[in-house]
Amino acid sequence: MNPQLSRDIDKRRTFAIISHPDAGKTTVTEKLLLYSGAIQLAGTVKAKRGRQFATSDWMEIERQRGISVTSSVLNFSYKEHELNLIDTPGHKDFSEDTYRTLTAVDCALMVVDAAKGIESQTKKLFEICRMRQIPIIAFINKLDRPCKEPIELIDEIESVLGISCYPITWPLGQGPDFRGVYNRLEKNLSAFTPGSDQSRQVPVAKLDLGDPNLNEFCPPELISALVDEIAMLDGAGADFSRESFLKGNLAPVFFGSALNNFGIETLLNTLISLAPSPGSRPTKTRVVDPHEEKFSGFIFKIQANMDPNHRDRVAFLRICSGKFERGMKVFHSRLEREFRLGRPTQFLAQDRSLVDTAVAGDIVGVHDPGKFLIGDSFTEGEKLHFTGIPVFAPENFARVILRDPLKSKQLNKALTELSEEGVLQLLFPFHSSDKFLGAVGILQFDVVKFRIEKEYNLAMDFVILPYTLSRWVSFEDKNLLESFEDNCREQLCKDKDGHTVVLVDEAWRLKYVQEKFPKIALSPTAPI
Ligand code: G4P
């Protein structure tokens, strides 16, 4: 083991930001960049709807709508640590891309709007984190506005998401009375000054709860309420356990206001002190330790046409072990051949820069010669296949109507390529020679239409199908599968790998199928 390489790897923090739209994810992202020194002035990244566009708005459709449909990756340094942040789409609709992002990270930062609490999209994303046992840090945002009671928010996270919480900071007042947060581990109070310049770093005064000047800064009744609440929190639960956090069983919670830059520095410090460094990753044959000297990694996302001047495809690679060097030849385990990974790129704000080296934990974009698929593994020669990049069951379905039926061959090519990129799932119904498109989010169909028209020059329309859920079907006994297939042909499709998928229009029908065929296994993710 190379000690320098090990030290470099341990300084990586690779995390995703998850939230419901409008909770403040973009603002948090931007302020993390501001406080890390990656940008000097906030206001350069944030998309102002219809005016300026976010870093992740690579695709034209995003520009047209002022939304973000693909997740973007940002790399920045903070206190000698290298942080890889993966943003997830901010639109109410989201795609498989959002889910898959979570396979490439070691931790997730969950942003919650203090007035709204846990909203639907946060819940969905959280469930994926849970499934993958990803540690979660919660940031309750917008304390400068009237909001729910902090204790109510904690109860909500615990009951709706089913995870225990440990509030590390606790607010002193809220809305117009918001005066700061008390840090239960550091045992001091960070004072909030409303009305500061939001585009630059704001110095924060740290006070002791026993400080005689405290009353000048805040009404005594707020302080006594805080003292009571802290006593209640301390009395109610055990000490903070990093071990429970790392297992995904306990979420440290922070309160703040991203717009006012308040609480951001604490988050950054938490990311480097509490969040995990790159961990081991399972493959079909063995577990890969990040400190192994030999390079390995997998593709979790493929993005076409990021640069409108070049028709390029960029594959996003999560490095799982060792060190990646520019120009390096690597072994592609599925195709069993070597590739030289060209133009390794990292991303910050609107800029891309070529990287010379990257180590386990890092995310780099590499040129995809059109041969790579999501989930592909690369090594220095060993035949490894990283597991755990699930394909998630679509919840939206459509058929394509081609305006010029003579172009069906081109359409097939377009659909196959887009499905390889993970933009859609292709399903082949049992009862017809049609092709169904499946997507986790309905907006994905707009993306598909836009890209087919623009990139493949094919005019087409969609007919939305009435199904709302799907599950992969398996039986231990192959004969049972056959009789099931005979019984339910109308509702069945094959996916591109030949696995059987059942489509239903309402959730109760799945229950019905399960009751009728008790030996059936219905899975929300595709078999690996
Ligand atoms: P998102 O990426 O999760 O969708 O949220 P985003 O950061 O875009 O924030 C949504 C809105 O909430 C924005 O206002 C943003 O300025 C505001 N916001 C974020 N953090 C805070 C906070 O701590 N306090 C308050 N009061 N507001 C906050 P907007 O008016 O929708 O957009 P904009 O015109 O300000 O960009």
* Pocket residues: Cβ below 6 A from ligand 1: 19, 21-27, 46, 48, 90, 141-142, 144-145, 257-260
Q: Are 253 and 154 in contact (CB under 8 A)?
A: yes
Pocket test for ligand 1, best of 34, 55, 259 (most atoms within 8 A of CB): 259
* Residue whose CA is at the smallest distance from ligand 1 atom 33: 48
- 398 burial (CB, 10 Å; 0-12 / 13-18 / 19+) is buried
Q: What's the fold here for domain 281-379? A: Rossmann fold (3.40.50)
Euclidean distance between CA atoms 313 and 301, whole angstroms: 10
Per-residue model confidence as pLDDT tens digits over 299-356: 988 876 555 555 567 888 999 999 999 889 999 999 999 999 877 877 664 456 778 8
pLDDT at 50: 38
* Residue whose CA is at the smallest distance from ligand 1 atom 11: 22
Q: Which amino acid is at 501?
A: V
Per-residue model confidence as pLDDT tens digits over 120-132: 888 888 888 888 8
**What does the pLDDT average to over 428-451?**
88
Of the candidate ranges 257-271, 313-327, 476-490, the one whose mean pLDDT is the lowest: 476-490
Eight-state DSSP code of residue 423? S
**What does the pLDDT average to over 501-527?**
90
**What does the pLDDT average to over 227-241?**
90
Band (29; pLDDT cuts 50, 70, 90): confident
- pLDDT(418) > 50: yes
Average pLDDT over all residues of the chain: 86
Q: Label residues 22-52 b or e (16+ Cβ within 10 Å = b).
A: ebbbbbbbbbbbbbbebbeebeebebeeeee
Q: How far is CA 226 from CA 184, 214, 231, 260, 458, in A?
A: 11, 12, 8, 21, 63
Task: Report CA(44)–ligand 1 centroid distance (Å).
Answer: 14
The closest of 7, 13, 50 to 32, measured between CA atoms, is 13
Q: What's the fold here for domain 7-274? A: Rossmann fold (3.40.50)
Pocket test for ligand 1, best of 25, 27, 72, 120 (most atoms within 8 A of CB): 27
pLDDT at 310: 54
Q: Do domains 281-379 and 396-523 have the same CATH topology?
A: no
Band (442; pLDDT cuts 50, 70, 90): confident
pLDDT at 305: 58
Task: Report CA(172)–ligand 1 centroid distance (Å).
Answer: 22
DSSP letters along 1-70, please? --HHHHHHHHTEEEEEEEE-TTSSHHHHHHHHHHHHTS-SSTTSSSPPTTSS--TT--SHHHHHHT---S
Q: What's the fold here for domain 396-523? A: Alpha-Beta Plaits (3.30.70)
pLDDT at 62: 47
The minimum-distance atom of ligand 1 relative to the CA of 258 is: 23
Tokens of 73: 């990756």
Task: Report CA(141)–ligand 1 centroid distance (Å).
Answer: 10
Per-residue model confidence as pLDDT tens digits over 265-293: 999 999 999 999 999 999 999 999 999 99
* Residue whose CA is at the smallest distance from ligand 1 atom 28: 259
* Residue whose CA is at the smallest distance from ligand 1 atom 32: 48
Task: Report CA(283)–ligand 1 centroid distance (Å).
Answer: 40
Task: Report CA(136)–ligand 1 centroid distance (Å).
Answer: 22
**What does the pLDDT average to over 413-428?**
88
Give the 3-state secondary structure of residue 488: coil
The minimum-distance atom of ligand 1 relative to the CA of 21 is: 4
The closest of 29, 17, 52, 73 to 306, measured between CA atoms, is 73
Task: Report CA(259)–ligand 1 centroid distance (Å).
Answer: 7
The closest of 301, 298, 313, 299 to 97, measured between CA atoms, is 301
Q: Would you list the domain boundaries of the chain? A: 7-274, 281-379, 396-523
Pocket test for ligand 1, best of 18, 22, 92, 178 (most atoms within 8 A of CB): 22
pLDDT at 447: 81
- pLDDT(58) > 80: no
Task: Report CA(183)–ligand 1 centroid distance (Å).
Answer: 25
pLDDT at 205: 82
